[in-house]
Structure 1
């Protein structure tokens, strides 16, 4: 179902957005089409954003994320604990954002496997520099865009529970519920579990 992903900086306008994703998952469970969901979110301001422009920036990413959440994960997201919803949201971000997935797989997972629980600015800089060498698209991004994206990545780590403090640099190992582990393994998505440090 997921097309080959390209590098994107869309995480700048749509960081973790857990509450918003959960609202859209619930609408999807009611049987609404993507078009109906978009209309309802905008007309009824379901996300409770003061700024309409913010809805338009966040909605495309949320719709992509909701499309990779199957019925089982949707059930766990609406009925499960906050920790479960955070893990499922993190999975959906990785599954729809190639650069963030590679960041998780190549940097975060690697650190956790080596029992290195510190992430520093230089780690992010090295990761982005190496990606710039591999991709003309990333190399073409402005320094400001890249800096914003680094902050967005750290924000996602913090909100998912993988970073202890918003301004800190200490990583946490996620406690991933067995139901999620089992399901992601069953559907062949173990690479995302590994990227989360499993």
Structure 2
């Protein structure tokens, strides 16, 4: 499977939809049952069959990175923590977004740089295109739309606060229990992004 994807261009955060699938998982429903409810019964409330299929596949891929503890906390924590848990899953599921968050966002947090411009995201994608053939083949408007998807993802998960075209980076809010669990059990480079500190 190609690890560099454009999934975040069209399917950024999907918080509510992810909650619905996670609830089915915690209820012990099989993958076949979840798929049927999400796609055929439209439990994720998407307008078209194609959109339901691709969204369900993406959500299932993301949630597969959460263990039972994090899946339960995703469902019963405060909204900020739940969004942080989903962001943790997405950082594992999407290699390019992870690299962006590690190389651009995390560096800004460590260097106490507050501003993030969309052109920085676009420049990151062009630099990746110089290193990675599949990214080089993406059209300019694909990179532009993906940059918008990255910014939307950061905003919805709490990594930035936006005011029109200006974006301020910030550390996300996570409750203490989940924070400590991630610190002890999480994927270290991703947990560092989540907590905004070197471990």
| The two structures share one fold, judged by TM-score above 0.5 | yes
2:93 to 93, 96, 100: 96
Aligned CA distance change for structure 1 residues 175 and 5 (closer, same or farther; 3 Å): farther
Higher mean C-alpha displacement, 179-188 vs 126-135:
179-188
In the aligned structure 2, how far is the partner of 1:29 from the partner of 1:175? 24
1:184 to 182, 185, 194: 182
Alignment match, 2:69: 72
Alignment match, 1:83: 80
Deviation at 1:188, TM superposition (A): 4.1
Deviation at 1:84, TM superposition (A): 0.8
In the aligned structure 2, how far is the partner of 1:186 from the partner of 1:44? 39
Give 3-state SS (helix, strand or coil) of 2:116's partner: coil
Deviation at 1:35, TM superposition (A): 2.2
Question: Could you list the per-position Cα deviations for residues 140-177 of structure 1 after superposition, in whole angstroms to 9, with x for gaps in the alignment?
Answer: 11112111110000000110122212633222221222
Deviation at 1:13, TM superposition (A): 2.5
Higher mean C-alpha displacement, 160-169 vs 130-139:
160-169
| CA RMSD between the two structures | 1.6
In the aligned structure 1, how far is the partner of 2:168 from the partner of 2:183? 28
Alignment match, 1:172: 170
1:8 aligns with 2:5: yes
Question: Could you list the per-position Cα deviations for residues 37-78 of structure 1 after superposition, in whole angstroms to 9, with x for gaps in the alignment?
Answer: 111111221112233332123111101011111100011111
In the aligned structure 2, how far is the partner of 1:74 from the partner of 1:166? 32
TM-score (normalizing by structure 2) = 0.91
Aligned CA distance change for structure 1 residues 164 and 5 (closer, same or farther; 3 Å): same
Alignment match, 2:31: 34
In the aligned structure 2, how far is the partner of 1:134 from the partner of 1:122? 19
Gap regions ≥5 residues in structure 1? none
Contact 1:12 1:152 (8 Å CA) reproduced: yes
Gap regions ≥5 residues in structure 2? none
1:195 aligns with 2:193: yes
Give 3-state SS (helix, strand or coil) of 1:169's partner: strand
